[in-house]
């Protein structure tokens, strides 16, 4: 765990926690310059799939100055200037500043007139915001696709077809003596995953931490994570399916021909046997997969994930083995969970018929936009445009749009949609709950006050306005 910064450590030492006091909450002190300094902890960081919930944020006034325990990625996210000063306009209509009431009324009129609306984004929104978006979608008969369908759909389909052996990250920390990173580079993409959950931490049954674990990396090239691994296997990304099935055969004790393995999997059988031996020697193994495993078409990615789930199931014949995704930034897992418990489907839900439907490849955003059916888009947060093909992106830019998102200069959405509503940033100014990749729900503790409504408040205001129009 990263050491807490000096200013934060000094402040905490000056404010000892009493045994009967509240365990969480802000702690305030005044320095010699009479500037109020506040520590808020614990704070949950949404910058990567780890969703670290032990961050201690230091504020001077409304400016965040330090982030204790955060990695470099989390520190950059927490300290980034998002221009949330009071006095900023709350919304735009055709690029012109307007008040909240006018933006809500215009957005409600646009959504009520739409014949085939689509709701996108929600990947970094709270569970409560996703639920509000679903209520709105049900009223207008919209298609809802949270997060990035290109990465989530193969995982969902594979899980539905063959199941998955899973666990919490806490269980991995305490029990895993063999850790596999398949197509993942957590040293760069999820720094505290390595430090807090999978490799370095001392666990209840792994008291030696890193010294008590075997770390295996399988990737298409040598990465920073591979440099620190005990075993690295370089594979062709287009042959992952074949490599996984060779490993399944080896785990089951099947005798294989080295020449055929080279032809089919483009890999050396001896190296795969070494990898298989390390996997079978585990008392408790954890298999973490990254974005590489979802390459190719949806069918190819789903088949590769099914092979990985099957390999882990085979390994459970002789030891405990689990498989988990590294996780995407934000709350895509929570968005899928909310859709599932309210509609029965985790992604790409079509409510236009008056009841929920989900057909892979049919109710997806890329198909809905690519064939020109959608006539209005409601964007909540940001849209991962990489999931859309060129035709879909072109159509998305042509149709009217209502965008509800934090004011962020890195937002890829065009600057002047029909209605642009500026919202508080989840995790910084917006409270709620999110879900980690292992299914554990975590609270969001706002660290500052935003002059803007939250995403959920915007959606609820629009629904209320639509109800008033119908009652007139």
pLDDT, one tens digit per residue, over 191-234 is 999 999 999 999 999 999 999 999 999 999 999 999 999 999 99
* β-sheet bridge partners, residue 430: 426
Place of tokens 């201690």: 56
Contact in structure between 323 and 180 (CB atoms under 8 Å) = no
Angle (nearest 5°) at CA 240 between 247 and 183: 105
Q: Are residues 12 and 117 in the same domain?
A: no
Q: Are residues 441 and 349 in the same domain?
A: yes
Identify whether 207 is part of a domain: yes
Alpha-carbon distance values, 157 to 74, 223, 306, 384 (Å)? 31, 29, 9, 20
The DSSP secondary-structure symbol of 18 reads P
| Residue that is last in its domain, among 310, 325, 340 | 325
Q: Are residues 261 and 302 in the same domain?
A: yes
Q: Are residues 360 and 391 in the same domain?
A: yes
* Average pLDDT for 84-100: 82
Rg (CA), the chain: 24
pLDDT, one tens digit per residue, over 294-344 is 888 888 999 999 999 999 999 999 899 999 999 888 899 999 999 999 999
Position 26 confidence tier, pLDDT thresholds 50, 70, 90: low
Instruction: Look up the CATH number of the domain holding residue 393.
Output: 3.40.50.740
Contact in structure between 251 and 279 (CB atoms under 8 Å) = yes
**What is residue 22's predicted lDDT score, i.e. its pLDDT?**
40
Position 130 confidence tier, pLDDT thresholds 50, 70, 90: very high
Rounded to 5 degrees, φ, ψ at 172 are -60, -45
* Average pLDDT for 142-153: 87
Would you state the torsion angle of the CA atoms of residues 98, 101, 105, 108, taken in this order, to the nearest 10 degrees?
A: 110
Closest by alpha carbon to 46, among 382, 452, 415?
Answer: 382
Instruction: Look up the CATH number of the domain holding residue 169.
Output: 3.40.228.10
Contact in structure between 237 and 300 (CB atoms under 8 Å) = no
| Average predicted confidence (pLDDT) for the chain | 87
pLDDT, one tens digit per residue, over 351-376 is 999 999 988 778 888 888 888 889 99
Quote the number of domains for the chain: 3
Q: Are residues 176 and 266 in the same domain?
A: yes
Q: Are residues 308 and 400 in the same domain?
A: no
Place of tokens 């129009």: 469
Give the whole-angstrom CA distance, residue 219 versus residue 33: 52
At residue 18, does pLDDT exceed 60?
Answer: no
At residue 1, does pLDDT exceed 70?
Answer: no
Identify whether 319 is part of a domain: yes
At residue 114, does pLDDT exceed 80?
Answer: yes
Give the whole-angstrom CA distance, residue 333 versus residue 348: 14
Identify whether 84 is part of a domain: no
Q: Are residues 52 and 174 in the same domain?
A: no
Position 28 confidence tier, pLDDT thresholds 50, 70, 90: low
At residue 382, does pLDDT exceed 90?
Answer: no
Q: Mean pLDDT check: name the lowest of 73-87, 242-256, 285-299, 310-324.
A: 73-87
Q: Are residues 124 and 181 in the same domain?
A: no
Which structural domain range is residue 243 located in?
Answer: 152-325
The DSSP secondary-structure symbol of 212 reads G
Give the whole-angstrom CA distance, residue 232 versus residue 156: 28
Q: Mean pLDDT check: name the lowest of 71-75, 353-357, 407-411.
A: 407-411
pLDDT, one tens digit per residue, over 436-447 is 999 999 999 888
DSSP reduced 3-state for 92: strand
* β-sheet bridge partners, residue 342: none
| Residue that is last in its domain, among 44, 79, 114 | 79
% of the chain at pLDDT higher than 90? 64
**What is residue 167's predicted lDDT score, i.e. its pLDDT?**
95
Identify whether 85 is part of a domain: no
Cβ-Cβ contacts under 8 Å for 101 (sequence gap 6 or more): none
**What is residue 363's predicted lDDT score, i.e. its pLDDT?**
83
Identify whether 86 is part of a domain: no
At residue 416, does pLDDT exceed 90?
Answer: no
**What is residue 253's predicted lDDT score, i.e. its pLDDT?**
94
Contact in structure between 340 and 346 (CB atoms under 8 Å) = yes
| Residue that is last in its domain, among 79, 103, 131 | 79
At residue 391, does pLDDT exceed 90?
Answer: no
Count of Cβ atoms closer than 10 Å to residue 59 Cβ: 18
Contact in structure between 331 and 442 (CB atoms under 8 Å) = no
The DSSP secondary-structure symbol of 406 reads E
């Amino acid at each position: 765990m990263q050491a807490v910064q000096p200013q934060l450590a000094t402040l905490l030492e000056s404010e000892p926690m009493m045994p009967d006091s509240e365990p969480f909450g802000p702690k305030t002190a005044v320095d010699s310059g009479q500037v109020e300094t506040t520590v808020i902890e614990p704070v949950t960081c949404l910058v990567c799939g780890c969703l670290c919930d032990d961050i201690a944020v230091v504020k001077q006034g409304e400016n965040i100055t330090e982030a204790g325990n955060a990695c470099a990625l989390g520190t950059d996210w927490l300290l980034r200037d998002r221009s949330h000063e009071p006095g900023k306009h709350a919304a735009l209509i055709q690029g012109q500043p307007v008040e909240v009431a006018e933006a809500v009324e215009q957005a409600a009129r646009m959504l009520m007139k739409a014949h085939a609306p689509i709701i996108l984004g929600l990947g970094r929104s709270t569970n409560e915001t996703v639920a509000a978006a679903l209520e709105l979608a049900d009223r207008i008969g919209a298609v809802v696709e949270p997060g990035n369908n290109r990465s989530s759909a193969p995982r969902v389909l594979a899980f539905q077809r063959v199941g998955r052996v899973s666990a919490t990250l806490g269980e991995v920390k305490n029990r895993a003596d063999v850790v596999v990173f398949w197509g993942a580079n957590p040293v760069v993409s999820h720094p505290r995953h390595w430090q807090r959950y999978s490799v370095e931490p001392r666990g209840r049954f792994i008291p030696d931490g890193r010294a008590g674990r075997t770390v295996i990396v399988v990737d298409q090239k040598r990465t920073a994570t591979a440099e620190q691994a005990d075993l690295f296997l370089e594979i062709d990304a287009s042959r992952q399916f074949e490599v996984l099935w060779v490993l399944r055969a080896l785990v089951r004790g099947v005798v294989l021909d080295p020449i055929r393995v080279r032809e089919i999997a483009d890999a050396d059988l001896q190296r795969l046997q070494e990898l298989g031996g390390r996997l079978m020697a585990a008392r408790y193994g954890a298999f973490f997969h990254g974005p590489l495993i979802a390459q190719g078409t949806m069918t190819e990615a789903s088949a590769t994930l099914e092979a990985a789930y099957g390999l882990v199931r085979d390994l459970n014949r002789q030891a405990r083995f689990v498989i988990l995704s590294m996780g995407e930034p934000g709350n895509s897992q929570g968005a899928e969970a909310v859709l599932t418990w309210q509609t029965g489907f985790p992604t790409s839900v079509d409510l236009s018929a008056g009841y929920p439907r989900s057909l892979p490849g049919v109710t997806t955003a890329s198909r809905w936009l690519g064939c020109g059916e959608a006539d209005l888009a409601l964007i909540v947060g940001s849209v991962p445009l990489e999931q859309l093909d060129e035709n879909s992106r072109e159509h998305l830019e042509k149709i009217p749009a209502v965008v509800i998102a934090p004011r962020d200069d890195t937002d890829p959405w065009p600057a002047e949609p029909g209605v642009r509503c500026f919202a508080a940033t989840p995790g910084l100014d917006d409270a709620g709950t999110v879900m980690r990749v292992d299914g554990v729900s975590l609270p969001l503790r706002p660290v500052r006050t935003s002059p803007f409504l939250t995403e959920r408040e915007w959606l609820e205001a629009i629904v209320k306005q639509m109800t008033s129009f119908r009652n007139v």
